[in-house]
Structure 1
């Protein structure tokens, strides 16, 4: 007997492969008109995949409950029923500290890191909220988290250096933002000053505090 969620997930996996192939062709041919429809399809397919993963988890849990009930373990079955299902697989979340935690869903991201230079994290997001005020996000603190089966693998905290609203469709609006470390602010200003009666550590502390990054000081 086949499992509907598993079969559907295989179909979604094949669909995602086709979408990636089409995306590559769009980039090669420069057909920008297809970018928005492809982005919308990716969002829909991603949401469908989440629903099917949850369905598969619930199906597995239902079988476990039935086994415990048939063996007379009523209390164990009730305890399992009341417990929340744990997320599985690799997940990515972005939380803007000035907005509700569930405002954004991560569609894709690119992290650029190097020696002796601040990182730059570019994130493509979707949200049910349209026309989010840029002042609520730009230059504000955000937290990007990588999860593996419900456990935190990595957290990247920083400030939003760029925020752009994209196209809307399927009751979702797309947003693009760049995240950089707070230390990045120090490269935006050039001036000359003379510090008297201060050592190097005191000078660095004063400059970092002026940029609102005291945790480096």
Structure 2
């Protein structure tokens, strides 16, 4: 009886792990049909007879992103919206451009782990482990270095040089999602009540109103 219980417990655990990532494809490909109005968890498949090479192609990652914004960085995504052929394959990519001392602010990807490669410049990167430790794992990366951010954990990248920096990332989902922490907390619509945030951050409500006004 104990062995049967252990077997079914193991089966339940392994099944839950399998369900925690994008589903595996059951065919050669499922190119996203951008014209379909049907709502599914993913994208509806285009008729395979109408699929062509351009459905698996994107051009543009050689172009620098415009970093003239408040944080000094720009993400150029390459997901299923850019390449329909990524649909159901469980992968995506992005280019990140950084102005000198530019920052990709603390954020999470709720549906993907991320692997980053520095193409140009020097980056300080890091992620924070979950409660209760909340330990910062951080490192300075140079050109050619690679760093991994586990799924769901808050992480960041910052250019620590006086020249532009560029990184290429790959993610383990066709639609990894992005939750930028400051935007979500101080820029929600409608606002999170100031008294809640004041208690959470142990500051005066006026400080919260000031932060909310910036987002």
**Short-chain TM bin:** under 0.3
TM-score (normalised: structure 2) = 0.23
Higher helix share: 1
Higher relative contact order (CA 8 A, sep 6+): 2
TM-score (normalised: structure 1) = 0.23
